[in-house]
């Protein structure tokens, strides 16, 4: 009989071909970038993984992250980061490697599960479908979904260990299965479905699932599942949801039934795939009642075939129990749950459908002798089409722009996708495109606080960086504040909007309002480093430098790469006269970025305050080498050479400062003092008059009498 794979060498070649084809399918992922679909939160902006320090490792395993508890996933990302840092290649390589190992483990699992004469054929077909299936691309090509391939690894090892236990009756094997189960749960919460999956294996193996022995045997698994389920709920509660909106229970049940069959449809025919599948608009209509009815029919079939066809019941049950927790029947918060299905959730459940597909193929091959050629042709064609679809789908995950373009092409009214694409465009410097996308996001969902926040933040960033005239800058900041007001109106606990509005209020000079906003930002999300940084700026502006330093320190504790906290901490230390600490801070910033002009200028000020004039001059000369139009540097250098008695050089520096900043009151005043030193009274008095006209206070000048 063909495709029986009875010879060891035939199995070896089949497995080699499966792994090679799977590798070819995912080859484009090796050259893909990070995406802003959580890769920023899990890798590029996640201080937890930037170091394998003991403190970080302890935090990874003892705290919730992003509303989840999956420490092993974070730890694996930290290992990758310790080797490659922000190079995405290694992260993709590890994901693909884990997927290839999982494909091999699926083969082993099926061979141990099915013991009839067709087990090799089953194993080859199921592992082949698992390795190349288009519905799995999201789990493999998306770096943040390390969760799937890692939990899948330990999940499959646990299943295999359990099957070995059934075969050899050695207790060490069941405890090994328990260990792998724990590791799987530490990788992703979806792993808790392994406990009922083992019951299904017992059923398939015709064991008495209600016997005391089997109940005691499964007890550790269900206790572990319950414990990690509890941790998942606790973690879920820590996420800063900004909306408590939820679908009514009836709607959730109907949509869950629809989602269940949508998963099946996408597994069988994986077309029109998307990184996001929004719910249909409004409550489910009468047409959707077809899906609960269809599910009832499926349950009736499971009851009917309970003893007649254990493979059908097992595979269908395996798909159901591994999927039910992600069908959103129990979903409460829609802010992170507005998608009805997700490709990634099918990674392990799909094995059940693949078994059914293999079963159908073998049935045609064995029972219908005249359909052998047709069955073989269908299978080969299906594999070729799947491979092509998957190869093309992997390319969609190349970068953020390609990813969100794909989603928008399928759902052109999806606000969330425009918001994500706007962030990607902003990162690339396409501020005009980002503004347009944010505006579209608001158009398609005027109640989305993220869309308003992103546009408000973008308005402020572009206005401040563009060096607008004062009136234009104020108008832009007021427009930014208006957007952020709308964000907070729609998301009353949206910490990021409060943090951004606090900064805008600081720019507008509304210091009390800014402090109030940032206190709320810290309250609603105590681990968001930017809130502490922004509040530090406000406290420093209020003259509360000691409190500002405490906030800058907290920001650095949460995000060590927020080095501007070190810079502004240095400013506060300088204002408080803590010159050694200020010098230490400015030197740190300069070591991080040798072209940070402001750090050099302020370090020069600190050196000057210590009367270390040579070091101060060295810093200012360096600044003027790389930025010869820096008025502040000329002014500061003028002060130093003035102290050294080189009055003509000081006058020259003050004049250059005024060339680049004509309304520099302090420079006019000091230029006047320099002219007095040379007894050039007329020039000195003109300079003092100019300083006074600009608004600079000259009342303390000892030479004003000479100008009368």
The full DSSP string for 314-356 is HHHHHHHHTTGGGS-SS----TT--BS--GGGGTTTHHHHHHH
Predicted confidence at residue 336, as pLDDT, reads 45
**pLDDT for the residue 142:** 97
- Which one-letter DSSP state was computed for residue 679? T
Residue 634, CB half-sphere, CA atoms under 13 Å: how many?
23
List, in order of start, the domains of the chain with CATH numbers: 8-396 (no CATH), 410-634 (1.25.40.10), 635-708 (1.25.40.10)
If one counts every other C-beta atom within 10 angstroms of the C-beta of residue 516, the result is: 16
pLDDT band at 5 (very low <50, low <70, confident <90, very high): low
Question: Mean pLDDT throughout 320-325?
Answer: 94
pTM equals: 0.90
At residue 344, the pLDDT reads 96
Is residue 468 predicted with pLDDT exceeding 80? Answer: no
Give the mean model confidence (pLDDT) for residues 78-85: 95
Average pLDDT score over residue span 275-292: 87
How confident is the model over 91-103, as pLDDT tens digits?
999 999 999 999 9
d(CA 416, CA 317): 34
What backbone torsions phi and psi does residue 65 show, to the nearest 5 degrees? Answer: -140, 125
Question: CA–CA separation, 319 vs 298, rounded Å?
Answer: 13
Predicted pLDDT at 288:
85
First to last CA, the chain: 116
Compute the Cα dihedral for 687, 688, 693, 695 and give only its sign. positive
Q: What is the pLDDT of residue 333?
A: 43
Tokens encoding 9: 């060498």
HSE-up (13 A, CA, CB side) for residue 254: 16
The DSSP-derived string for 132-183 is H-GGGHHHHHSGGGHHHHHHHHHHHHHHHHHHHHHHH--HHHHHHHHHHHHH
What is the reported pLDDT for 242?
Answer: 59
Instruction: Kindly tell me if the per-residue pLDDT of 628 is higher than 60.
Output: yes
The structure tokens 């109106």 sit at: 489
Using pLDDT thresholds of 50, 70 and 90, give the confidence band for residue 1.
very low
Whether the CB-CB separation of 75 and 57 falls below 8 Å is answered with yes
d(CA 477, CA 482): 9
Q: Is the predicted pLDDT of residue 458 greater than 80, yes or no?
A: yes
Q: In the structure, what pLDDT confidence band is assigned to residue 129 with cuts at 50, 70 and 90?
A: very high
Residue scoring higher pLDDT (7 or 117)? 117
> What pLDDT, on a 0 to 100 scale, did the predictor assign at position 285?
81
pLDDT in tens, 575-617: 999 999 999 999 999 999 888 999 999 999 999 999 999 999 9
Place of tokens 């909306």: 243
Take residue 41 and report the two structure tokens written for it.
């939160």
pLDDT for 500 equals 96
User: At residue 335, does pLDDT exceed 60?
Assistant: no
Per-residue pLDDT, 337? 53
Let me know: does 298 contact 212? Beta carbons within 8 Å: no
pLDDT averaged over every residue in the chain: 92
* pLDDT score of 381 more than 80: yes
Report d(CA 163, CA 201) in Å as an integer. 8
Instruction: Provide the percentage of residues in the chain whose pLDDT is more than 70.
Output: 96
**Residue 375 to residue 378: CA distance in whole angstroms:** 5
Q: CB of 175 within 8 A of CB of 161?
A: no
Rg (CA), the chain: 33
pLDDT surpassing 70 at residue 282: yes
> Can you give the pLDDT at residue 245?
60
How confident is residue 247, by pLDDT bands cut at 50, 70 and 90?
Answer: confident
The pLDDT confidence band at residue 307, using thresholds 50, 70 and 90, is confident
**β-bridge mates for residue 65, sequence order:** 68
d(CA 290, CA 626): 71
Residue 278 β-bridge partners: 339
Give 502-554 pLDDT, tens digit per residue. 999 999 999 999 999 999 999 999 999 999 999 999 999 999 999 999 999 99
């Amino acid at each position: 009989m063909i495709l029986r794979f009875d010879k060891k060498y035939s199995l070896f070649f089949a497995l080699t071909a499966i792994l090679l084809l799977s590798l070819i399918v995912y080859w484009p992922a090796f050259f893909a970038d990070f995406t802003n679909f959580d890769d920023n939160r899990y890798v590029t902006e996640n201080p937890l993984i930037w170091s394998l320090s003991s403190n970080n490792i302890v935090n990874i395993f003892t705290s919730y992250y992003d509303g989840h508890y999956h420490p092993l996933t974070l730890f694996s990302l930290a290992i990758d980061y310790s080797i490659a840092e922000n190079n995405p290649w290694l992260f993709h390589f590890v994901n693909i490697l884990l997927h290839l190992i999982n494909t091999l483990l699926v083969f082993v699992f099926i061979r141990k599960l099915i013991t009839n004469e067709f087990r090799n054929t089953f194993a080859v077909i199921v592992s082949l479908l698992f390795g190349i299936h288009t519905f799995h691309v999201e789990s493999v090509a998306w770096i943040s979904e390390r969760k799937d391939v890692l939990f899948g690894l330990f999940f499959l090892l646990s299943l295999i260990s359990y099957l070995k236990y059934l075969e050899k009756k050695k207790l060490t094997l069941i405890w090994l299965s328990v260990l792998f189960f724990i590791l799987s749960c530490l990788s992703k919460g979806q792993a808790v479905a392994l406990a009922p999956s083992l019951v299904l294996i017992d059923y398939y193996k015709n064991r008495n699932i209600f016997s005391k022995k089997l109940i005691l045997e499964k007890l550790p698994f269900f206790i572990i599942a319950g414990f990690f389920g509890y941790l998942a709920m606790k973690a879920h509660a820590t996420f800063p949801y900004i909306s408590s909106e939820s679908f009514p229970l009836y709607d959730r049940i109907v949509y869950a039934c629809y989602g269940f069959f949508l998963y099946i449809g996408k597994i069988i025919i994986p077309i029109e795939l998307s990184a996001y599948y929004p719910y249909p608009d409004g409550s489910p209509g009468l047409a959707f009642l077809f899906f609960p009815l269809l599910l009832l029919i499926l349950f009736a079939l499971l009851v009917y075939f309970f003893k007649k066809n254990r493979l059908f019941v097992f595979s269908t049950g395996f798909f159901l129990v591994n999927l039910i927790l992600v069908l959103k029947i129990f979903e409460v918060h829609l802010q992170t749950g507005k998608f009805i299905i997700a490709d990634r959730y099918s990674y392990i459940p799909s094995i059940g459908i693949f078994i059914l597909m293999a079963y159908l193929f073998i049935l045609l091959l064995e029972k219908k002798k005249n359909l052998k050629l047709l069955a073989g042709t269908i299978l080969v064609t299906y594999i070729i089409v799947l491979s092509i679809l998957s190869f093309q789908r992997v390319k969609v995950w190349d970068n953020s722009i390609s990813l969100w373009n794909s989603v928008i092409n399928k759902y052109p009214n999806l606000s969330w996708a425009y918001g994500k694409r706007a962030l990607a465009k902003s990162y690339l410097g396409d501020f005009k495109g980002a503004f347009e996308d944010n505006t579209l996001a608001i158009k398609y969902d005027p109640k989305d606080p993220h869309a308003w926040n992103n546009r408000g933040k973008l308005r402020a960033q572009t206005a401040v960086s563009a060096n607008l005239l004062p009136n234009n800058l104020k108008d832009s900041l007021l427009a930014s504040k208006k957007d952020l007001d709308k964000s907070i109106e729609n998301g009353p606990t949206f910490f990021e909007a409060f943090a951004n509005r606090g900064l805008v209020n600081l720019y507008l000079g509304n210091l009390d309002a800014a402090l109030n906003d940032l206190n709320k930002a810290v309250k609603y999300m105590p681990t968001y480093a930017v809130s502490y940084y922004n509040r530090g700026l406000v406290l420093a502006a209020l003259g509360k430098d000691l409190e500002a330093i405490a906030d800058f320190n907290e920001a650095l504790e949460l995000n060590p790469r927020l080095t501007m906290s070190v810079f502004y901490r240095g400013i506060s230390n300088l204002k408080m006269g803590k010159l050694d600490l200020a010098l230490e801070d400015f030197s740190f910033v300069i070591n991080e970025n040798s072209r940070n002009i402001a750090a050099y200028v302020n370090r020069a000020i600190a050196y000057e305050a210590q009367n270390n004039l040579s070091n101060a001059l060295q810093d200012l000369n360096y600044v003027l080498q790389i930025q010869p139009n820096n008025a502040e540097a000329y002014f500061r250098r003028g002060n130093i050479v003035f102290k050294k008695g080189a009055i003509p050089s000081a006058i020259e520096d003050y004049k250059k400062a005024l060339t680049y900043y004509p309304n520099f009151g302090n420079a006019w005043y000091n230029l006047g003092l320099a002219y007095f030193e040379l007894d050039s009274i007329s020039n000195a008095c003109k300079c003092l008059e100019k300083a006074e006209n600009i608004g600079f206070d000259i009342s303390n000048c000892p030479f004003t009498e000479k100008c009368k």
